[in-house]
Structure 1
Amino acid sequence: MIRKETPDELLERLKYEESINSRGRLKIFFGYAAGVGKTYAMLSAAHDLKKQGIDVVIGYIEPHTREKTMALCEGLEKIATKTVNYHNIKLNEFDLDQALVRHPQVLLVDELAHTNAHGSRHEKRYQDIEELLKAGINVFTTVNVQHLESLNDIIASITGVVVHERIPDRIFDQADQVELVDIEPEELTRRLNEGLIYRKQQADQAITGFFNSANLTSLREIALRRAADRVNKLAEQVNHAGIGYADEHILVCLSPSPSNPKIIRTGSRMASAFKGKLTALFVETSEFPSMTKENRERLRDNIHLASQLGANIETAFGDDVAFQIAEFARNNKVSKIVLGRSNTRTRFGLIRRPFSEQLTAYAPNLDIYIIPDKDTPVLKRKLTYAGSCELNIKNLGFAAAALLLSTLISFIFYEMGFSEANIITIYILGVLITSVVTANQLISALSSILSVVIFNFFFTIPRYTLAAYDSGYPVTFIIMFIAAVITGDLAIRIRKQARQSANTAFQTKILLETSQLLQNAKSAEDIIACTSNQLIKLLEVPVIFYPSDDGHGLKEPSIFALEPMPAANIVSDNEKAVAEWVYENNKRAGKTTNTLGNAQCLYLAVRSDSQVQGVVGLALKEALDTFASNLVLSILSECALALEKDMYNYKREEAAVKARNEKLRADLLRSISHDFRTPLTSISGNASMLMNNCDRLEAAKRNQLLMDIYDDSMWLINLTENLLSVTRIEDGTAHLNMQAEVVDEVILEAMKHINRHASEHQLKVIESDEVLLAKMDSHLIMQVLINLIDNAIKYTPSGSEIIISSNKKGDMIEIKVADNGNGIQDKDKAQLFDMFYTVKKSVADSRRGMGIGLSLCRTIVQAHGGSIMVADNVGHGTIFTILLPSEEVDLHE
């Protein structure tokens, strides 16, 4: 039965196929040893493509002494190599930038596992090829089986040679095509003997070393099997599309041990074989801050290796490593744990349970695999110090004061007749307090020794000597010393664990706080500032944020720091170029990475899915640890989601505005087509009657027809004037000619331009007792009054009373247009001033308005800094009230 894809799975598959179609395709010519003919086969395939009219270019071919291979380079266009100076040695390297500019259909780049010269954009050539593929360039390349990361340990154990140039297995597995170039080991040996691969002296050394018959046979078998595994993986991906990991979950434990890479590679092979998920866990103990630089670098390399092999990196905290691993395994449904064998020797006859047994005791139901390694160095357990061993005056002073105080209290106890056991307790307490306050292992040990000496000197017989008569005293001294050391060490460890827990809680709090702050952010600028400030709080380093210019590159950066700092170094052209590269390639680069590592900052993409919302630069002094790195990525992920949400909100508002504008346009066209038709039909009809029957019509009838034509024309003119006024004021092109005007004069002037049907109503103007001045554009305010009065005439029955009045109300001038008509229902009042809204009722002249008159009135009044409102008249009817800022009269002019 075929499982039907869910909509989400279908969408993800379409996105993946779209991204694949835009990328270049990678073909790998795969062999088991140098000389099998990989480069020859690649060049032969290139010539075949060229004959078909394909644009094929050589990006880089490793110089060989093999004449037939080099002869195939003829006839193919070559991109010139770039010269890199390294320790006064000139190295010829592949020129990535020139290849991107040339942008052929197919590019040949030899030696996939090559390590680039220092100063190149990428540390590894496979990273160059990934950038070429992203740019849409198809790439042909070559690689041998010993360069695959997961097989490094196996091949090293067979050949005795550790290959340092390696590629992640994902590069090989995700290649679009892998062509296995295979010859018999005997044929390869013959080529070596004939000098077709290396020169005579090199060939002799190779045959007796790496290229002996047993090694070649084993390498060939591994290469054939690895190629077959890749085919099986591709088949499974096709047959089980949309199905995630199986039930198997493999856990490997990270450590700075030299043998840890083998454990990681073994776990990777197991995850691949079981088709399961791979997780790499590092347990950070209280001793982590005192880890040596060498161990830190080795741990960082091991974490990077696990990441390259596809592991999900996790961190746990606690001094009981076995317990933390067991708890993590239980909570995350781990099925198998891969460990290394620890060759630890016991000291002083002390027996310590092996780590695997401790883990088995905590997790008896888990499958635990112990990976032997004959090269694992024997580790002699050392005394580890939970605290610092540096001496300083402050800590020494406190220790001395604690010893002095303990001695004074002991003298008091001694005089009071307390036993020696009580006095011993006082000194142990003093050592405990010293350990807690100083957190210094050396001072704690010195305090323990001095406590024993002082106790012996002052409180054992004979007093004031270091001798002791009682044969049991030496045992007492030893127990006292051990108790003091143990309690001191425990106190230091507890303090370190408390500090570690507080630090972890603080970092987790920052993550939760960031989520809450981003939810409350109102704009993209707020989101960027919030994210940057949280990163500063977490890392205490300057942060540079480059926002995305809506898919068109990066905008100018914003710099955030605890203190003002010069921006020249961290926003230089070189730094901006690194940020642009991160934006375009959606990968981290800069300081502490293998890409553009000479930069001053580490640059990370702020991305959601495959869309980059911006780039963050961190001016780090050293590489981030795993936990801090995960927190930073989580914060940036939250930031990306917030920016994406803000962008979607902006686009949604933009779409809503467009929809409103489209509706406005449709309403306008519909209203114009409807409301212009009636007067135009009337004008054309009356004009036609006058033209055809002018001589036969009575003078009164002709005058009536002419008056109707005039009225309809004036209605159209007023309507057009309203439309023009609305558009001018809304788009800001209208110029308000603001002057101090007498309000009553403006009202009386407006009365001269009202509807001719005014004679059918009782119009009354109530002038104010005082001169009222308002700063206004008199022409526009007259238009407001005309619209209001015409509406009152239009929507009230004949004979209705319409009163226009004005008076001063505080620092505003109040103008009222009141009628005693039928009034307006409450449900219509809320929308009365909206564009194209009309009250559904019959009108006196049977001409339906467009619904822009009152909207225009509000727009004009608000442009004057005033307001307009509607209310019911006393009894019945409607009152429209206009409030305009008053203008004071200067009596001294």
Structure 2
Amino acid sequence: MDKERPDPDKILRDIEREEEKKSSGRLKIFFGYAAGVGKTYTMLKAAHSLQKNHVDAVIGYLEPHARPETMKMAQGLETVPAKQVDYNGIKLKEMDIDAVLQRCPQVVLVDEYAHTNAEGSRHQKRYQDVEEILKAGISVYTTVNVQHIESMCDIVASITGIFMKERIPDSTFDMADEVQLVDLEPEDLLQRLKEGKVYREEQASRAMDHFFTIEKLTALREIALRRTADRVNLVTERTKKEAGGEYYTEEKILVGISSSPSNSKIIRTAARMAKAFGGLLVGLYVEPPNAEKRGQEDKKRLKENIHLAEQLGAKIETVCGDDIPFLIAEYARNSGISKIVTGRSVPSRSFFHKPTFTDKLAAYAPDIDIYIIPDSKMEKEKQKLRKNMDHTMTIKNMLSAMVCLLLSTVIGFVFYEMKFSDTNIITVYILGVMITAIITSSRTISFLQSAASVVVFNYFFTDPRFSLDTYDPGYPVTFVISFIAALITSNIALKMKTQARELAKLAYRTKIILDTNQLLQNGKTVEEIGNTMAAQLGKVLSHTVVYYGLEEEHLNDPVIYNANGEKDESHYTRLITENEHAVAEWVFKNNKRAGATTATLSEAACYYLAVRSLDAVYGVVGIEIGNREILGAFESNVLMAILSESATVMEREVFRTREEAATEKANSEKLRANLLRSISHDLRTPLTSICGNADMLLQGKLNEDKKEKVYSYIYDDSFWLLNLVENLLSVTRIEEGGMKIKKQADMLEDLIEEALKHISRKSREFVIRVSMEDEMQLVNVDSRLILQVIINIVDNAVKYTPSGGEIVISTKKEKSFVHVQIADHGNGIPDEDKPHIFEMFYTANNEITDSKRSLGLGLALCKSIINAHGGKIMVYDNEPKGAVFDFTVPAEEVEIHE
């Protein structure tokens, strides 16, 4: 059976990935389950082995351990000096990443991979420093414990009771080139602890009472061994997939993303499941109504959870609406999700049992596996969210409700005086409740309005009037039904209003994307596309936007657009400082986001992102973040969508430009090849003739008549060569874009007379007649080039017209152009040749070039010159026989001053 044909795009991606691997450094992690197992010692020992093999290995940063064995092993290795960072009056030492890059060793040792850098450092985390070093082509040896891996910290916390704040993404661990497990029996580790080889005596005693117990260390060791095995399996599966082997990817696991503090635990659990099942992880954020009313703390936590999901390999999706379980179930059903991971909320303790979030989700998605993770904080967060979102009990809303109630009562009195029934009056109150719900968007006020409407109706319109008593025993039932009807009506109105708002937001988002797409498509260059993108971002986000375009692999000077999408650089000098430019340069070089609200160079005034497509960067965009405000989910989604669309359009424009350049280069090569081929063939004949005739003259054996003929032959051949060289030079200038038109006013009659002086001597054998409509006609042309056009066409007519024939040059003005017609009485041009007669290297009748000594350049050159003047050239039959070449040139108007 034939093998399946390889995918060329996949092959290209694999090649690019391999090239990137070759240019970047290699990462080796020394992995352990607890402090003191010997990770740093083993790393230093490996560095000494490298030195013995003449590998340049230095220490980039080493934690100041009080361990004699470790410090002794560090001797003999060059250390890059650490930099000091002032933090609250304390001098802290951190790795000097710039010094490491400047030193540029083959291998650098960086201890404590998960360390959090001091405030003011370039990156928030040390693993980000390592990523930059690796990208510079320097290999890194580093150390990390299992409790510092993102997806493992929840499990470790359940064992040790300690939640690690310093963590690394699972991807940095799984994508390491080599992981060496540094293992030690728990009993041996405890013995080392007792001997003071790990901590000082006081610290060791405290550690043995809490963290360092035989049960905890055994559990941590098991987790570390299992995590190492998982990585081996992952590498094996990845290798199998790259080799084209079978790979199971049917599982799609969805995890809900929210601003809940415990949501990070759910995300990590889902990530571990995705790895275990070898499936894809999707993070879904359901943006509720009025999400913009969330506090900054909630927005920050939501952004952190989204970032955590991205770090763990999740693809982030966003939908809008208030029925979160229904939206999750619908997305899962439409996207082929096989498993949903969510938190478990605490059931309601009210008298009436209310279905929980998970109950609703299970009802909406009965065919999808749902994994519920304990989440005791979810209900509290929901209550907090509802509280935050219902800040509508304001004086304004309460006054609006009172006005609606008052108007309903007034209308009720009118209806009462008109003898309308009680049903009509209670309907007016229900309408008032509905209007109140629409105006205030508050469930609390709607509830109070419903109750107040029943009370007021009872007080004013039921017997006995102006009392809360009733004579009719059926009225209490009426009141209850009216209250329920009013309450249901108000809830329906609120839901419809919320849905209308969400639909409007969705329509606005769609319109933004469509408008931006249309504007970007109209861009003619990458620079124009980038400026359009920046202006659109300014309007959409209502933020000041800084855009750095790209030119020859370097960032251009920034262009600033204000919140109205208008270019404005006068009031924003704070955004174009050296520090801001340095952040933009870092984003461009590293193809990662940085600046305000990020963990890299966070002191910047702007939030910088690369305009990128795969690994290509086409520019850098900075969004000014005032008061460290975090962009909302809606704004972030729109921002990423516009950046992605812009990068796609830029990429297409770059490819189009490259394709045009390649096509132009190919055409130039083709032209050069054709010229060389034609010249090598056609120059030989006249040059041979000139040499032969000159030789006969040198021998002096010719009489006067023969000498005159030989002179004539030499002249004709030389004249033909002169015209050929002139045409070749002109064609070369045109192809290279070097032909410049220098127009000036000239008498057309003078141009024709001058041209006739330079045509072939064979023209004496013909009758050349000039017929001008206006002998004083002025034209606005480059006389040198138009002379060449006339000479080429007349020579062409002489070449193809029998001796004694007539050639007529006539002119006439038509609007702002002058027609110049050159007619002959030769054999004419066949119809099938007319469309190609002005093409380069084309000769009529497909005759070989030797027959008429023509390279097919003259008429092609004429067309280029006339087009450059804004005119047209054509050919048609002459009556009764022959051909007419007709071209137009711009006329020069003469101003008459009285």
TM (normalized to structure 1)? 0.92
1:304 to 2:307 alignment = yes
1:281 to 2:284 alignment = yes
Alignment match, 1:42:
43
Q: In 2 relative to 1, CA 849–88 (structure 1 residues): closer, same or farther, beyond 3 Å? A: same
SS in 1 for 2:359: helix
Which letter maps to 2:371? Y
SS in 2 for 1:435: helix
Question: Which deviates more, 607-616 or 39-48?
Answer: 607-616
1:463 to 2:465 alignment = yes
Alignment match, 1:687:
694
Alignment match, 1:257:
260
Match among 336, 339, 345 for residue 336 of structure 1: 339
After the TM superposition, which residues 769-780 of structure 1 pair with which residues of structure 2 at under 5 Å, given as runs? 770-774=775-779, 780=785
Which letter maps to 2:81? A
Deviation at 1:108, TM superposition (A): 0.6
Q: In 2 relative to 1, CA 777–394 (structure 1 residues): closer, same or farther, beyond 3 Å? A: same
Which letter maps to 1:507? R
TM (normalized to structure 2)? 0.91
Alignment match, 1:667:
674
Residues 386, 496 of structure 1: 8 Å contact kept:
no
Alignment match, 2:645:
638
Deviation at 1:144, TM superposition (A): 0.8
The whole-number CA distance in structure 2 between the counterparts of 1:247 and 1:507 is: 32
Which letter maps to 2:276? A
Question: Which deviates more, 421-430 or 67-76?
Answer: 421-430
Question: 1:279-303 CA deviation, whole Å, 9 max, x = no partner?
Answer: 2223333364444444443333332
Match among 568, 573, 577 for residue 573 of structure 2: 568
Alignment match, 2:21:
20
Residues 260, 377 of structure 2: 8 Å contact kept:
no
After the TM superposition, which residues 287-298 of structure 1 pair with which residues of structure 2 at under 5 Å, given as runs? 288-298=291-301
1:173 to 2:178 alignment = no
SS in 1 for 2:253: strand
Q: In 2 relative to 1, CA 374–560 (structure 1 residues): closer, same or farther, beyond 3 Å? A: closer
After the TM superposition, which residues 212-231 of structure 1 pair with which residues of structure 2 at under 5 Å, given as runs? 212-231=213-232
Which letter maps to 2:230? D
Question: Which deviates more, 747-756 or 476-485?
Answer: 476-485
1:316 to 2:313 alignment = no
Q: In 2 relative to 1, CA 61–791 (structure 1 residues): closer, same or farther, beyond 3 Å? A: same
After the TM superposition, which residues 51-90 of structure 1 pair with which residues of structure 2 at under 5 Å, given as runs? 51-90=52-91
Q: In 2 relative to 1, CA 812–210 (structure 1 residues): closer, same or farther, beyond 3 Å? A: closer
The whole-number CA distance in structure 1 between the counterparts of 2:167 and 2:548 is: 34
Deviation at 1:612, TM superposition (A): 1.5
Match among 846, 871, 875 for residue 876 of structure 2: 871
Residues 550, 556 of structure 2: 8 Å contact kept:
yes
Alignment match, 1:147:
148
Q: In 2 relative to 1, CA 843–733 (structure 1 residues): closer, same or farther, beyond 3 Å? A: closer
Q: In 2 relative to 1, CA 3–57 (structure 1 residues): closer, same or farther, beyond 3 Å? A: farther
Alignment match, 1:531:
533
SS in 1 for 2:836: coil
Percent of residue pairs bearing the same amino acid type: 53
After the TM superposition, which residues 432-831 of structure 1 pair with which residues of structure 2 at under 5 Å, given as runs? 432-441=434-443, 443-445=445-447, 447-465=449-467, 480=482, 483-550=485-552, 552-563=553-564, 565=568, 566-621=571-626, 622-626=629-633, 628-692=635-699, 694-695=700-701, 697-727=702-732, 731-732=737-738, 736=742, 738=744, 740-741=746-747, 743-766=748-771, 770-774=775-779, 780-810=785-815, 812-831=817-836
Deviation at 1:59, TM superposition (A): 0.8
Question: 1:757-816 CA deviation, whole Å, 9 max, x = no partner?
Answer: 234333334466754444556565444433332221211112222223345555544443
1:358 to 2:360 alignment = yes
SS in 2 for 1:402: helix
Q: In 2 relative to 1, CA 455–17 (structure 1 residues): closer, same or farther, beyond 3 Å? A: same
Q: How many pairs are equivalent?
A: 888
Q: In 2 relative to 1, CA 524–56 (structure 1 residues): closer, same or farther, beyond 3 Å? A: same
SS in 1 for 2:554: coil
Q: In 2 relative to 1, CA 725–41 (structure 1 residues): closer, same or farther, beyond 3 Å? A: closer
SS in 2 for 1:596: coil
Which letter maps to 2:102? V
Residues 387, 440 of structure 1: 8 Å contact kept:
no
Deviation at 1:586, TM superposition (A): 1.4
SS in 2 for 1:71: helix
SS in 2 for 1:840: helix
Q: In 2 relative to 1, CA 88–344 (structure 1 residues): closer, same or farther, beyond 3 Å? A: farther
1:200 to 2:201 alignment = yes
The whole-number CA distance in structure 1 between the counterparts of 2:155 and 2:281 is: 20
Residues 287, 385 of structure 1: 8 Å contact kept:
no
Q: In 2 relative to 1, CA 494–814 (structure 1 residues): closer, same or farther, beyond 3 Å? A: closer
The whole-number CA distance in structure 2 between the counterparts of 1:890 and 1:530 is: 45
Residues 27, 177 of structure 1: 8 Å contact kept:
yes
The whole-number CA distance in structure 2 between the counterparts of 1:802 and 1:42 is: 94
The whole-number CA distance in structure 1 between the counterparts of 2:336 and 2:124 is: 37
Q: In 2 relative to 1, CA 151–683 (structure 1 residues): closer, same or farther, beyond 3 Å? A: same
Structure 1 residue ranges without an equivalent (≥5): none
Question: 1:348-385 CA deviation, whole Å, 9 max, x = no partner?
Answer: x1212343333322222322223346898878968946
The whole-number CA distance in structure 1 between the counterparts of 2:774 and 2:715 is: 38
Question: Which deviates more, 165-174 or 722-731?
Answer: 722-731
Residues 283, 324 of structure 1: 8 Å contact kept:
yes
SS in 1 for 2:555: coil
Structure 2 residue ranges without an equivalent (≥5): none
SS in 2 for 1:346: coil
Alignment match, 1:270:
273
Residues 260, 381 of structure 2: 8 Å contact kept:
no
Deviation at 1:111, TM superposition (A): 0.4
Q: In 2 relative to 1, CA 5–393 (structure 1 residues): closer, same or farther, beyond 3 Å? A: same
Question: 1:830-877 CA deviation, whole Å, 9 max, x = no partner?
Answer: 333333332236699944122233344445555666554333212111
The whole-number CA distance in structure 1 between the counterparts of 2:848 and 2:208 is: 109
Deviation at 1:11, TM superposition (A): 3.0
Q: In 2 relative to 1, CA 757–261 (structure 1 residues): closer, same or farther, beyond 3 Å? A: closer
